[in-house]
Amino acid sequence: MRCPELLGINIEDKHLEEQWVKVMGKGRKERVVPLGSKVTWLLQRYIYHFRPEALDSSQLFLCVDSSPISDNDLHMLFKRLSGRSGITRLHPHLLRHTFATRYLISGGDRFSLQQILGHTTLEMTWRYTDMVALEIAVRRKSLSPMDGNTAVNTRARGKKWGSGAVFGGLG
């Protein structure tokens, strides 16, 4: 989610049993964002154990004093998390990019990612596809079955490809 979408979630927008939340995206477009099991569990824990009692706010995320959390509060939280974790480039939008990239790497399709992210066209989603293709190309070398086979690599050292010895005499 984008920061304004996250900050705009109201208590009634969460549907934890079904594992989704309703957010108001860019251009006042409403969309449904699915939640994973861990996020659902963490949200339940926050709501029932840590969320301050709100007197006049229906906003889901609140400060300790029951006031709605602001954009600045969220950025300060990430600044503290960055300092504690040692991750210097930690910011809210990075989580959105990371989710999109991991979603595609895990087998998710571009069309459902477009819906989840709230993109009006596939053009923005294609950027993530390009990033994933690059990451896969870099990984491909270490994932190659032949490159990972030490028996073939050990026997092949010092041999000429045409000698037949590399392929057990089949050359």
Per the annotation, the verdict on 141 as an active-site residue is: no
**Cβ neighbours of residue 165 under 8 Å, at least 6 residues apart?**
155, 159, 171
Q: CA 31 to CA 139: how far, in whole Å?
A: 34
Per the annotation, the verdict on 45 as an active-site residue is: no
Per the annotation, the verdict on 128 as an active-site residue is: yes
Q: CA 113 to CA 34: how far, in whole Å?
A: 11
Active-site hit among 2, 22, 97, 110: 2
Active-site hit among 15, 80, 93, 127: 93
Per the annotation, the verdict on 103 as an active-site residue is: no
Helix and strand totals (H; E) in the chain: 8, 3
With contact defined as beta carbons under 8 Å apart, do 43 and 51 qualify?
no
Per the annotation, the verdict on 96 as an active-site residue is: yes
Active-site hit among 51, 96, 97, 110: 96
Per the annotation, the verdict on 159 as an active-site residue is: no
* Amino acid (one-letter) located at 103: Y
Active-site hit among 15, 26, 75, 160: 26
Give me the active site residues, please. Answer: 2, 26, 93, 96, 119, 128
